[in-house]
């Protein structure tokens, strides 16, 4: 039995599959997306970074924000785990500390959506080699 | 719903598979499982990334990290470091040879910067054996659009408007070809995909079929819709087993989804595709020969007209297009002719895929807009000549093309420009030669190929090419005369003028273009009986410089034919009559006393 019986069927399948390929399409143009790095070293994971990361992935997708969420190693702010680094296109990266689910929600709503700074910013005092 | 946080793409092209990319895939999956990450990280085998020089390629998303020369035993480290700890494995990243900088994002690599990927859009991006991934990236949307919103004539108009020209070498406007085929009425018509890629060193079509088979199937169905054909045939050489496998999988999936078969997407349009296998004869890339081969006859060309559009396969109207041409079609329909015809040059729109090979740093598959210069392709994308040697020539168009020199490097590549400088686009092979290559030998190499591949139907091609080869052989043996050069020229012109098909009409091109562009080298062979690049064995002479020779006897002891004489602590002498020119003495000499003259 044919799976695609009309153009509408094809479009429906495409929509369903979109989420699966979304990550790959976004990777083609990472600069155009909001990039969030979550510190996922032992200290971060122990403080709940894994849950925060999952929340960030799901929440940004649900709220229609085009994001790339990646994990990174220990950023060195072990006193403020979980830490996340958010880069909005065209802006400098900003690091937030003590990000629990509530804070993550606030970062999405206030910083990512409206560009308002929220509490918990850690001044960046290092450089990364690939940037 | 499954949603992976990261994707690992592994090149599954023939080249990378030969370097164990399947083992890399298995090891990565095992390592992920060991860490309990198999639900979070997806491992996908894709088509060719193009950077074959440094394969196997592994790309990790979403941060677009491009790992090169990965070995199966690196899998564990990649998972542990990159996936778990988020640290890039520096030793597997690409280092820019000029700036000595490590580059992790492939977009910043010189190799990819100038490329625009249309025909190769899905190669190295989707899993070619998964129709869902193709559909998710606009796959079959173009077919859907044609069937539901466009009339056959409006599809043809769109293709005509796009300016797309045949990518197999001829450069004939595709829209026009489709229109001819559509105007001939018959009870049965055929769409044929020419996948008989035969140029030495060319692998564009193979990579498209291996990396994105559905795009070709979709385009064939679109073509079938415009001309009223319900049957498609892919003529592919049996020596492309991976491409054949992937096509079979793709055809099966497309049938299951109802994207091939009867009443596609409820439009009432029927179309199905079958495979036909060739035995790898070069001449079968010529469309009439291809059709005869499919009919079970000898693969020999016949006179046009009648063109296949009137009388092709089984005497029915047939449209034959090359793989790469087809791969462009869905994008043109989706994005529009006006998007496509802004890329490239006025008379050659769009992009062209080239297989870079020879003495170049970045051997691989590239796709650049028409109008890109040879210099950009060779130096910026190709990374220049291997081992810092000097560029000598670039051969485009395979056995039908010509050798271009330094003076042509700034020529923008398109169909007409390459013809104007005595070469041709061909199907997209590009072989780069350096100072060590002898151009007479290069011409001889190509003639050797055409002599072998001539079908034998036309005497000028069958006998003439053989005579050309013999003349070239005589010159490389040091027995040529200046008159032979005139003979080469005359004979070449006769073969070109009197052969029936493209093979004979173009086979003397390598001879003519090398005589034209490297006349000095021919003269050196016939007058001084010397090969300037030291490639022609018969013209080489190993000599010992008595000033430099200290008489250590090392060369004499290593000579396999005992042709070096001399007493201890005295300068040695090579008996050139007995010398077999193996070069063993030169390799052994510690005092650089032996040279080639």
pLDDT digit string, tens, across residues B208-230: 999 999 999 999 999 999 999 99
Instruction: With CA atoms as reference, report the closest residue to B229 among B269, B266, B262.
Output: B269
Q: Residue A77 domain-assigned?
A: yes
In chain B, residues 114-173 whose CB comes closer than 8 Å to chain A: 125-126, 132-133, 135-138, 140-141, 144-145, 147-148
B277 CB near a chain A CB, below 8 Å? no
Read off the tokens for B301. Answer: 């060309």
Is a pLDDT exceeding 70 seen at residue B461?
A: yes
The CA distance from B179 to B153, in Å, is 8
B102 CB near a chain A CB, below 8 Å? yes
The CA distance from A10 to B280, in Å, is 37
B99 CB near a chain A CB, below 8 Å? no
State the nearest Cα–Cα gap between B368 and chain A, in angstroms. 17
Residues of B in contact with A20 (CB under 8 A): 2-4, 132-133, 136
Q: What is the pLDDT of residue B1?
A: 40
B5 CB near a chain A CB, below 8 Å? yes
Q: What is the pLDDT of residue A1?
A: 47
The CA distance from B370 to B162, in Å, is 14
Q: Under an 8 A CB cutoff, do A72 and B261 touch?
A: no
Lowest model confidence (mean pLDDT) among A116-130, B164-178, B449-463, B561-575:
A116-130
Q: What is the pLDDT of residue A16?
A: 83
From A37, which residue of chain B is nearest by alpha-carbon distance? B86
The CA distance from B467 to B488, in Å, is 9
Domain that holds residue A52: 30-122
From B101, which residue of chain A is nearest by alpha-carbon distance? A130
Domains of chain B: 6-112 (3.40.30.10), 131-340 (3.40.50.11540), 351-434 (3.10.20.600), 439-526 (1.20.1440.230), 541-596 (3.30.70.20)
Of B4, B5, B86, the CB nearest to A73: B86
pLDDT bucket at B104, cuts 50 / 70 / 90:
confident
Q: Under an 8 A CB cutoff, do A27 and B133 touch?
A: no
The CATH number covering residue A92 comes to 3.40.30.10
Say if residues B470 and B538 touch (Cβ distance below 8 Å): no
Q: What is the pLDDT of residue B384?
A: 92
Q: Under an 8 A CB cutoff, do A3 and B147 touch?
A: no
Mean pLDDT, residues B289-299:
95
Half-sphere exposure of residue B369: CA atoms within 13 angstroms, side-chain side = 15
Q: What is the pLDDT of residue A125?
A: 61
Q: What is the pLDDT of residue A75?
A: 78
B15-43 residue pLDDT tens: 899 999 999 999 999 999 998 888 889 99
Residues of A in contact with B89 (CB under 8 A): none
Residues of A in contact with B62 (CB under 8 A): 23, 26-27, 30, 68-70
Q: How many interchain CB pairs under 8 A, A with B?
A: 106
Q: Under an 8 A CB cutoff, do B265 and A129 touch?
A: no
Q: What is the pLDDT of residue A124?
A: 66
Q: What is the pLDDT of residue B40?
A: 85
Q: Under an 8 A CB cutoff, do B257 and A73 touch?
A: no
Q: Residue A89 domain-assigned?
A: yes
Backbone dihedral angles phi then psi of residue B36, each to the nearest 5 degrees: 70, 30
State the nearest Cα–Cα gap between B244 and chain A, in angstroms. 24
Q: Residue A3 domain-assigned?
A: no
Instruction: Tell me the three state secondary structure of residue B43.
Output: strand
Q: Residue A22 domain-assigned?
A: no
Q: What is the pLDDT of residue B242?
A: 94
Of A3, A19, A70, the CB nearest to B62: A70
State the nearest Cα–Cα gap between A102 and chain B, in angstroms. 21
Is a pLDDT exceeding 70 seen at residue B243?
A: yes
Q: Residue A109 domain-assigned?
A: yes
Is a pLDDT exceeding 70 seen at residue B188?
A: yes
Residue keyed to tokens 């989804």: B257
Q: Under an 8 A CB cutoff, do B136 and A21 touch?
A: yes
Angle between helices B465-476 and B439-453 (to 10 degrees): 150
Q: Under an 8 A CB cutoff, do B7 and A24 touch?
A: yes
The CA distance from A123 to A80, in Å, is 12
Q: What is the pLDDT of residue B534?
A: 83
Q: What percent of chain B has pLDDT over 70?
A: 99
Distances (CA, A) of B356 to B53, B194, B348, B506, B513: 10, 21, 20, 21, 20
Residues of A with CB under 8 A from a CB of B: 2-7, 9-11, 13-14, 17-21, 23-28, 30, 37, 40-41, 53, 57, 61, 68-73, 129-130
Q: Under an 8 A CB cutoff, do B257 and A70 touch?
A: no
Of B126, B141, B265, the CB nearest to A5: B265
Q: Residue A20 domain-assigned?
A: no
State the nearest Cα–Cα gap between A3 and chain B, in angstroms. 5
Q: Under an 8 A CB cutoff, do A6 and B266 touch?
A: yes
- Beta-bridged to residue B232, according to DSSP, are B191, B273
pLDDT bucket at A129, cuts 50 / 70 / 90:
low
Q: Under an 8 A CB cutoff, do B62 and A69 touch?
A: yes
Q: Residue A85 domain-assigned?
A: yes
Q: Under an 8 A CB cutoff, do A27 and B61 touch?
A: yes
Residues of A in contact with B138 (CB under 8 A): 14
From B7, which residue of chain A is nearest by alpha-carbon distance? A24
Rounded mean pLDDT of chain B?
Answer: 92
Q: What is the pLDDT of residue A39?
A: 85
State the nearest Cα–Cα gap between B157 and chain A, in angstroms. 22
Say if residues B378 and B384 touch (Cβ distance below 8 Å): yes
Q: What is the pLDDT of residue A131?
A: 43
B495-531 residue pLDDT tens: 999 999 989 999 999 999 999 999 999 999 999 888 8
Q: What is the pLDDT of residue A91?
A: 83
B257 CB near a chain A CB, below 8 Å? yes
From B108, which residue of chain A is nearest by alpha-carbon distance? A130
From A6, which residue of chain B is nearest by alpha-carbon distance? B265
pLDDT bucket at A107, cuts 50 / 70 / 90:
confident
Instruction: Tell me the three state secondary structure of residue A120.
Output: coil
State the nearest Cα–Cα gap between B7 and chain A, in angstroms. 7
3-state helix, strand, coil in chain B (%, to 5): 45, 15, 40
Say if residues B390 and B165 touch (Cβ distance below 8 Å): no
Residues of A in contact with B105 (CB under 8 A): 30, 130
Q: Under an 8 A CB cutoff, do A130 and B102 touch?
A: yes
Instruction: Tell me the three state secondary structure of residue A38.
Output: strand
How many domains does chain A contain in total? 1
């Amino acid at each position: 039995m044919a799976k695609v019986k009309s153009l509408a069927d094809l479009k429906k399948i495409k929509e369903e599959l979109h989420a699966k390929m979304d990550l790959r399409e976004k990777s083609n143009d990472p600069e155009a997306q909001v990039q969030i790095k979550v510190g996922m070293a032992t200290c971060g994971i122990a403080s709940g970074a894994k849950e925060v990361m999952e929340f960030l992935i799901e929440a940004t997708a649900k709220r229609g924000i085009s994001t790339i969420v990646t994990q990174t190693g220990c950023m060195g702010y072990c006193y403020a785990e979980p830490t996340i680094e958010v880069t909005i296109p065209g802006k400098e990266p900003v690091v937030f500390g003590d990000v629990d689910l509530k804070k993550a929600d606030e970062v999405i709503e206030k910083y990512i959506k409206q560009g308002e700074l929220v509490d918990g910013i850690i001044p960046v005092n290092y450089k990364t080699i690939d940037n | 719903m499954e949603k992976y946080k990261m994707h690992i793409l592994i090149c599954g092209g023939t080249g990378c598979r030969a370097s164990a990319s399947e083992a890399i895939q298995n090891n990565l999956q095992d390592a992920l499982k060991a860490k309990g990450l198999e639900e979070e990280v997806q491992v996908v085998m894709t088509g060719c990334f193009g950077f074959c020089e440094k394969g196997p390629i592994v790309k990790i998303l979403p941060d677009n990290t491009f790992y090169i020369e990965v070995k199966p035993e690196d899998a564990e480290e990649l998972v542990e470091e990159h996936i778990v700890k988020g640290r890039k494995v520096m030793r597997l990243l690409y280092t820019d040879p000029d700036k000595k900088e490590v580059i992790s994002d492939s977009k910043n690599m010189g190799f990819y910067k100038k490329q625009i990927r249309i025909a190769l859009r899905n190669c190295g991006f989707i899993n070619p054996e998964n129709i869902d991934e193709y559909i998710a990236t606009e796959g079959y949307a173009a077919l859907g659009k044609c069937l539901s919103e466009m009339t056959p004539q409006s599809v043809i108009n769109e293709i005509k408007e796009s300016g797309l020209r045949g990518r197999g070498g001829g450069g004939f406007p595709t829209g026009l070809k489709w229109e001819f085929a559509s105007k001939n009425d018959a009870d049965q018509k055929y769409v044929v995909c020419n996948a008989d890629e035969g140029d030495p060193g060319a692998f564009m079509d193979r990579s498209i079929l291996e990396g994105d088979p559905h795009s070709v199937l979709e385009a064939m169905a679109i073509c079938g819709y415009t001309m009223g054909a319900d049957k498609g045939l892919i003529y592919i050489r049996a020596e492309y087993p991976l491409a054949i496998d992937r096509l079979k999988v793709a055809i099966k999936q497309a049938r299951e989804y109802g994207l091939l078969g009867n009443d596609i997407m409820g439009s009432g349009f029927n179309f199905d595709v079958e495979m036909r296998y060739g035995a790898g004869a070069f001449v079968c890339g010529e469309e009439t020969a291809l059709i005869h081969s499919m009919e079970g006859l000898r693969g020999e060309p016949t006179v046009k007209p009648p063109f296949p559009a009137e009388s092709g396969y089984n005497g029915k109207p047939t449209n034959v297009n090359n793989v790469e041409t087809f791969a462009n079609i869905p994008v043109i329909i989706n994005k529009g002719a006006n998007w496509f015809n802004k890329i490239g040059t006025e008379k050659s729109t769009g992009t062209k895929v080239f297989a870079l090979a020879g003495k170049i740093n970045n051997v691989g598959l590239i796709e650049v807009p028409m109008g890109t210069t040879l210099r950009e392709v060779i130096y910026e994308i190709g990374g220049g000549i291997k081992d810092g040697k000097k560029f000598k020539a670039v051969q485009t168009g395979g056995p039908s093309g010509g050798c271009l020199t330094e003076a042509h490097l700034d020529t923008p590549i398109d169909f007409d420009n390459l013809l104007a400088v005595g070469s041709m686009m061909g199907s997209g092979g590009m072989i780069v030669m350096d100072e060590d290559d002898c151009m007479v030998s290069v011409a001889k190499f190509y003639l050797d190929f055409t002599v072998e591949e001539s079908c034998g139907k036309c005497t000028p091609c069958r006998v003439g090419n053989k005579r050309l080869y013999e003349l070239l052989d005589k010159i490389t043996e040091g027995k040529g005369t200046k008159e032979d050069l005139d003979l080469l020229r005359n004979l070449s012109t006769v073969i070109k003028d009197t052969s029936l098909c493209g093979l004979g009409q173009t086979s003397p091109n390598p001879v003519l273009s090398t005589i034209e562009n490297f006349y000095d080298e021919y003269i050196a062979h016939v007058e001084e009986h010397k090969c300037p690049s030291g490639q022609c064995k018969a013209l080489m002479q190993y000599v010992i410089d008595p000033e430099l020779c200290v008489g250590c006897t090392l060369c004499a002891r290593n000579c396999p034919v005992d042709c070096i004489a001399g007493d201890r602590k005295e300068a040695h002498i090579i008996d050139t009559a007995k010398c077999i020119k193996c070069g063993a003495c030169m390799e052994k000499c510690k005092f650089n006393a032996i040279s080639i003259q």
